Structure 1
Amino acid sequence: MTTSSLDLASLLCSRLCHDMLSPVGALSNGLELLADEKDPEMRKRCFELLEQSAKTSADKLRFFRLAFGAAGGFGDLVPVAEARTLVDALIGNNGRIEAKWALGSDALPKPAIKTLLNLALIGIEALVRGGVLELAAENKDGASEIVVRAAGAKIAFDPAVGEALEGKVTGADLSSRTAPAAMLYELAESLGGGLQFALTADALVMGAVLPQG
């Protein structure tokens, strides 16, 4: 692993920790409240909040395991239903985003699944006021083709993330926010593929073509 790879791995770990801090912190706070609370109705509410925080934590861990990690429990091909379950769970925790899927293959190579999940994550973060997340993926002519479109009343897309998708953010300029996009660029480049994105006032469209070797 090169120094650059070590830096990228460290930033991805920082990103994971940042995203997990809120639900795990809610679990800790809920347990503290439960220890001091005597009222039955309030205790019931505490248990509901603990259950919700635990589900959110588990959903995010499963998502990041495949989006960022090696996901050793899978082979070279990953069922697209797995990616759909992970994204739907993440959106379900958000509550303001509707997912629409168009999947032309039952399974995709692991790099394509990682790309689909990370583009979905970028799309979810762009929909700060909610909206529709459209996801399409298929194997075609020896390559995996992926398209993710986020459309809503307000699109919040950090230009630095776009630059990272284009391979223009490296080294000291990388951050935990841009690291997933930088990882996608390196992954696509290593496979001889490419990434694209287009941004308008009400939509962010991202795509990837990844040769299958």
Structure 2
Amino acid sequence: MAADQLAALLCARLCHDLVSPVSALSAALSVLDDESSADMHEDAMDLVRDSSRQAQAKLEFARLAYGAGGSAPATLDTRELRRLTEAMFAPSKPAIVWKVETPGLEKAAARLLLNLCVLAVESVPRGGTVTIEATESGGGARIRIVSEGPRARLNADAVTALEGQPPEGGYDGRSIQPYFAGLIARNAGGRVSAHADEERVEFVALVQAPAAAA
């Protein structure tokens, strides 16, 4: 896939994610501007605060998950990854269960983890749990995320895209994100797979340690 197409589709995905909180923020501000709606101003201010938090959480998450987040190799604190993940998915139905014990993950592994969290949350739209695990060894990492809940599902286009193959109808704003997750793994000399059983979806990824600079 050409870099400009990838960038355009990721931008479309980001804009889609931001529509809800930004639209809610705009609606709340309209209420505050309406002097005849004074009795609704307190509720509107609550909506402003909530929508602002959601928009900020989505932008902070996307900056690392989809953006470069700095070009130099780095080890990222998993406490920060947990903060970003829990803030991003606070409004979501599934509960986030964080079982990452390693204190840090190399940048590619950290970005892959965040992207797989997106897929994991989307796989349990009726709620349940998303359990996130990661271990680090010699700079490489193994990530395992399990989603469990009623009617847990694994979208066929997402699996195809995760493997680096275009879905039947081509890539769009939804399938580009799993493609990008798989691309992160492949560029780091690793791999990622997804498997679904009844009311359970599992994502497993391996990422190699970055090569030492000469």
- State TM-score, norm by structure 1: 0.92
Residues 1:29 and 2:22 aligned together: no
Paired letter, 2:156 = P
**Aligned counterpart, 2:115:** 118
State how many pairs are aligned: 210
Aligned-pair CA distance for 1:157 = 2.7
Match of 1:211 among 193, 198, 208: 208
Aligned to 2:164: 167
CA distance in 2, matches of 1:142, 1:79: 13
Deviation of 1:200 (Å): 1.5
Are residues 1:7 and 2:9 paired? Answer: no
Match of 2:58 in 1: 60
Change (3 A) 1:36 1:73: farther
Task: Give a deviation string over 1:112-146, Cα, whole Å, max 9, x none.
Answer: 11100010011111111111000001112552110
Out of 70, 76, 82, the position equivalent to 2:74 is 76
**Offset of residue 52 of structure 1:** 0.6
1:148 alignment partner, SS class: strand
Shift of the 90–40 alpha-carbon distance from structure 1 to 2, 3 Å rule, reads same
Is 1:47 aligned to 2:48, yes or no?
A: no
Runs of at least 4 residues of structure 1 off by over 3 A? 37-41
Residue 191 and residue 170 in structure 1: after superposition, are their counterparts in 2 closer, same or farther (change >3 A)? Answer: farther
Change beyond 3 A, Cα 1:45–1:73 = farther
The answer on 1:137 being equivalent to 2:134 is yes
Return the TM-score normalized by structure 2: 0.91
Structure 1 residue 199 displacement after superposition: 0.7
Unmatched runs of 5 consecutive residues or more in structure 1: none
Q: What is the match of residue 100 of structure 2? A: 103
Match 1:155 to one of 134, 152, 155: 152
In 2: Cα distance, 1:26 partner to 1:89 partner: 18
| Inter-partner Cα distance in structure 2 for 1:50 and 1:89 | 16
Letter aligned with residue 152 of structure 1: G
Percent identity reads 29
